[in-house]
């Protein structure tokens, strides 16, 4: 046998044996270990599937989490930067709050992921709960009369013969509860978020379009155009709008399930591996690159429980992103392609030195408190 080929074979066999020994050691260490769910804290390392619908983007030197739209093929294209304009940014702080079971944060997360915007709400919010709307549509005399007054229209689509500018310009805002089951620190908890949905009749929309073309709205303009729009409905020129049916569709179980789908998928895909209780300290070092930029490397020490959690997940999961989040801000999100079996997590080439320094201080304060317990 050729000596050089023999050396290669022997070297390959040695590396194979070494890898096998390391794998066997891991099997022994992690055989009965489970990565149990933990609730997020002030400092978190959260794993996301690097091949799924969520991707890490860096904007203004800060890592962000985005949701890619479309099918698997389109998501692969977007992952390579071909369709990034369709990526929807995830509010990280509210995602963490939702994982902690906070209803206000869940409300914001659901609204954001379903593209509800504060700017779409009217200046004066005439609020209606979904439960009261159901009662009104089902015939509750008092609530039905109030709803029709707020919409300037009977539920069968017959317009009122009088005008309220507040109602005409604002319509109503529906408060729709979205209940979700969330695993909070190992316990499944029922948490309800609420979204606000603006609703106007077609007549209101038509009037708003006319009004948007005017610099000022005089009384004659308001009365004249409202009466003209209302008369077209009464005479049959324009179709009546079934308000009960339209509102019922907006607050239906089908709609609730649709609004719940995206945030539920996100929360299920986010696995909190490291949080405050696993931290044992942090060090950073900064230097200048050849372009004069300040680059910072970070080393985070974790306890044995944290080490095993990282090792187990990286051993069982091929390709994932590990997002470091401090006080709701994503500091870094390296992609992990090998096993993390050590007690230190090293993150290289952070571009934002200030965030790295703040993260170090926070981690060391927390780890100092842990040492006293």
**CA dihedral for 36, 38, 43, 49, sign (positive or negative):** positive
In a domain, 121, yes or no: yes
183 and 123 within one domain:
yes
Q: Report phi then psi at 173, rounded to 5.
A: -120, 120
pLDDT at residue 12 tops 80: no
338 and 221 within one domain:
no
Instruction: Report the pLDDT averaged over residues 119-128.
Output: 95
241 and 131 within one domain:
yes
Confidence of residue 239 (pLDDT cuts 50, 70, 90): very high
Which residues does residue 56 pair with via DSSP β-bridges, in sequence order? 65
In a domain, 24, yes or no: no
Instruction: Report the pLDDT averaged over residues 275-284.
Output: 97
| DSSP SS3 for 185 | coil
304 and 169 within one domain:
no
Per-residue confidence (pLDDT) for residue 98, from 0 to 100: 97
In a domain, 12, yes or no: no
Name residue, tokens 């000596």. Answer: 3
| DSSP SS3 for 41 | coil
Q: What letter does residue 70 receive in the DSSP assignment?
A: S
Domain boundary among 224, 243, 268: 268
130 and 165 within one domain:
yes
202 and 131 within one domain:
yes
Token duo for residue 173: 């805002």
In a domain, 213, yes or no: yes
DSSP string for residues in 254-270: HHHHHHHHHHHHHHHH-
Q: Write the CB contacts of 103 (distance below 8 Å, at least 6 apart in sequence).
A: 191, 192, 193, 194
Q: What is the pLDDT of residues 142-191, one digit of tens each?
A: 999 999 999 999 999 999 988 898 999 999 999 999 999 999 999 999 99
| DSSP SS3 for 158 | coil
DSSP string for residues in 189-228: EEEEEEEEEEE--HHHHHHHHHHTT-SS--HHHHHHHHHH
Helical residues (DSSP H) of the chain, grouped into ranges: 3-30, 72-79, 92-99, 103-113, 130-137, 141-151, 165-170, 202-211, 219-234, 243-250, 253-269, 304-316, 353-372
| DSSP SS3 for 324 | strand
Q: What's the domain count of the chain? A: 2
In a domain, 19, yes or no: no
Angle ∠(200,205,210) on CA atoms, nearest 5? 150
Total-model pTM:
0.84
Task: Give, in order, the Cα–Cα distances in Å from 212 to each of 21, 49, 207, 208.
Answer: 74, 47, 9, 6
| DSSP SS3 for 141 | helix
Domain boundary among 248, 268, 288: 268
pLDDT at residue 90 tops 70: yes
pLDDT at residue 27 tops 80: no
Per-residue confidence (pLDDT) for residue 204, from 0 to 100: 94
Residue 363: closest CA among 283, 273, 307, 272: 283
Q: Which range of residues forms the domain containing residue 299?
A: 43-56+275-372
248 and 206 within one domain:
yes
- How far apart are alpha carbons 344 and 168 in whole angstroms? 62
Per-residue confidence (pLDDT) for residue 16, from 0 to 100: 42
Per-residue confidence (pLDDT) for residue 262, from 0 to 100: 94
């Amino acid at each position: 046998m050729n000596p050089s080929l023999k050396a290669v074979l022997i070297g390959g066999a040695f590396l194979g044996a070494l890898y096998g020994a390391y794998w066997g050691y891991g099997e022994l260490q992690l055989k009965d270990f489970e990565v149990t769910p933990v609730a997020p804290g002030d400092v978190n390392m959260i794993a996301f599937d690097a091949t799924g619908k969520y991707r890490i983007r860096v904007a203004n030197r800060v890592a962000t989490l985005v949701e890619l739209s479309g099918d698997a093929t389109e998501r692969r294209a977007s992952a390579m930067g071909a369709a990034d304009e369709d990526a929807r940014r995830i509010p990280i702080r509210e995602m963490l709050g939702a994982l902690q079971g906070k209803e206000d944060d869940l409300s914001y997360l659901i609204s954001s992921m379903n593209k509800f915007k504060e700017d779409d709400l009217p200046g004066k919010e005439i609020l209606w709960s979904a439960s009261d709307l159901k009662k009104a549509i089902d015939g509750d005399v008092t609530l039905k009369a109030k709803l029709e007054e707020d919409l300037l229209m009977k539920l069968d689509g017959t317009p009122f013969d009088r005008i309220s500018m507040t109602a005409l310009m604002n319509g109503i805002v529906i408060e729709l509860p979205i209940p979700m089951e969330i695993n909070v620190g190992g316990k499944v908890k029922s948490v309800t978020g609420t979204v606000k949905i603006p609703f106007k009749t077609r007549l209101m929309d038509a009037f708003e379009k006319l009004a948007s073309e005017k610099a000022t709205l005089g009384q004659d303009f308001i009365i004249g155009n409202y009466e003209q729009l209302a008369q077209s409905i009464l005479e049959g020129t324009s179709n009546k709008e079934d308000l009960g049916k339209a509102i019922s569709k907006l607050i239906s179980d089908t709609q609730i399930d649709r609004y719940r789908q995206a945030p539920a998928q996100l929360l299920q895909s986010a696995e909190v591996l490291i949080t405050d209780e696993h931290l044992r300290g942090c060090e950073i070092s900064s230097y200048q690159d050849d372009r004069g930029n300040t680059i910072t490397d970070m080393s985070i020490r974790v306890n044995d429980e944290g080490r095993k959690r990282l090792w187990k997940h990286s051993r069982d999961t091929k390709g994932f992103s590990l997002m470091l989040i401090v006080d709701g801000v994503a500091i870094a999100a390296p992609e992990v392609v090998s096993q993390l079996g050590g007690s230190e997590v090293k993150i290289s080439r952070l571009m934002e030195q200030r965030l790295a320094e703040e993260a170090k201080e926070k981690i060391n304060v927390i780890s100092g408190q842990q040492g006293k317990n």
